[in-house]
Amino acid sequence: MTNQLPISVVIPTYRRRTSVERLLLALARQTLPSDTYEVIVSIDGSEDGTRELVETFPAPYLLHALWQPNRGRAAACNTGVRAARGEVVVLLDDDMEPTPEFLAAHWRAHAGDARQGVIGAVPVALDRSVPPVVEYIGGKFNQHLQQLAQPGHQFKLRDFYSGNFSIRRDILLDAGLFDEAFKLYGNEDLELSLRLTKAGVRLVYSAEALAHQHYTKDFPALARDNLAKGQTAVLLAHKHPGMMDGLKLSTYRQGSRKWRALRAGLLALSDVWARMPEYVIQLMTRLEKRRPRRLNLYYTLALDYFYWLGARVALRERGGEGAVPLTKAAGKAQP
C-alpha cells in the first residue's frame, strides 16, 4: 500500500492572501470525496499572511503550505509538484475559483489517455462593475476560450496556458518540470508546452474543468506584465529558435504602417527619455477615466509598445552571437 492520492492540486502564489482563501473555499466544495485529493499552496516569498492562512485553514482535504524565497512562478510550481503525491497534478493559479465539478472533470479527462494534458476553462468573471481594463482583457480572453472549445481545434503554441492545467505527475517529472530560468512574468508555460509536445503529450481543452478567473490587475500592472513578457519571449526564442514563427516575437513587421511608425518613434524616444514608459502609463490612466470610444484600441497599442520595449531590452542585454537569429526574426526589434 502506498500513500499516493488520485489528485494533487498545486497553487503557486505571490502576495494574494484573499484570493487564496477564496480558492481554498471553492476546493472544499468539490464533488469528489475530500480524501481523494490534496492541495499544496506553494508560496513564492509572500509575507502577507498567506502561509498563516493556509496553516490554519479548516480544510476537509489534505492541505499543505510550502514557502520559499521569491524565485518566480516556474520555481513555485516545481516546488509544489515535487512535493505532490497525486497520480494527476492539477496546476491552478491563485485567482481562480473552480466550480464543484472541477476536479471530477479533470480526473475524467485522464481516464482514456495517460499521455494527455488537459487545459481547463478559465473565463474571466465580468459584470458592469469591472474596470475598463478588466473588460478589455476579459473580452479578448473569453473569446479565445470559445475558439479553443470548437470541435477539432488544432492547438497552436500561444493557445497554451497552465493556470488551469492537469497532467500525470510522472509525465511532468519526465519532461523536466518548468524551466526555472523564467523568473519574470510569462512564457514559462509555453516553454513547458513545447517539451510536452515533443514528449508525445496530446493537449486537449475541457470546458467542464471550469474555474472562473477573477482578474484584478490595473493598467500599470498589465503594462509591467507585457514588458516582462517581451523579455521572457526573447528567452524562450533563444532556447527554442525553431519555434520563432509561433511567437509574437516574429510579428514585429505586422500591423498598419501608421502604427509601426508610431511604435518605432515611441521605442526610439524610450532610448533617450527613461520616463517614456511612465508617461504612457499616465496617459492610459487618464484615458481610462474618460473612456473614449476607441479605448480598447489604445489598450492594444499601448500594450504592444510595452511588449516590444521588453523584447528590445532583453535583446540588448543578451547581445553577442545568441541574439543574431532573434534580432533577424523580430525585425531586429528596432525602429
How many folded domains does the chain comprise?
A: 2
Sign of CA dihedral 237, 173, 144, 140: negative
Bridge partners of residue 9, in order along the sequence: 39, 90
Same domain, 166 and 82: yes
Half-sphere exposure of 97 (CA within 13 A, CB side): 12
269 and 309 share one domain:
yes
* pLDDT of residue 72 exceeding 50: yes
Adjacent-strand bridge partners of 82 = none
Per the structure, the complete domain to which residue 115 belongs is given by: 5-213
Terminal-residue alpha carbon distance, the chain = 63
pLDDT on residue 114: 81
Among residues of the chain, what percentage have pLDDT more than 70? 94
Which has the closest alpha carbon to 168: 113, 250, 101, 97? 113
Mean pLDDT of 112-134: 92
pLDDT of residue 330: 45
The grid coordinates listed for 324 are 543574431
Verify that 94 and 200 share a domain, yes or no: yes
Reported as a single tens digit per residue, the pLDDT across 35-61 is 999 999 999 999 999 999 999 999 999
Q: pLDDT of 87-111, one tens digit each? A: 999 999 999 999 999 999 999 999 9
Give the global pTM. Answer: 0.92
Same domain, 166 and 98: yes
DSSP state letters, 121-146: --PBP--TTS-HHHHHHHHHHHHHHH
Q: 202 and 223: one domain? A: no
Q: What is the pLDDT of residue 58?
A: 97
Together in a domain, 73 and 182? yes
244 with 320, same domain?
A: yes
Q: What are phi and psi of 259, to 5 degrees?
A: -70, -40
For the chain, give the mean pLDDT: 92
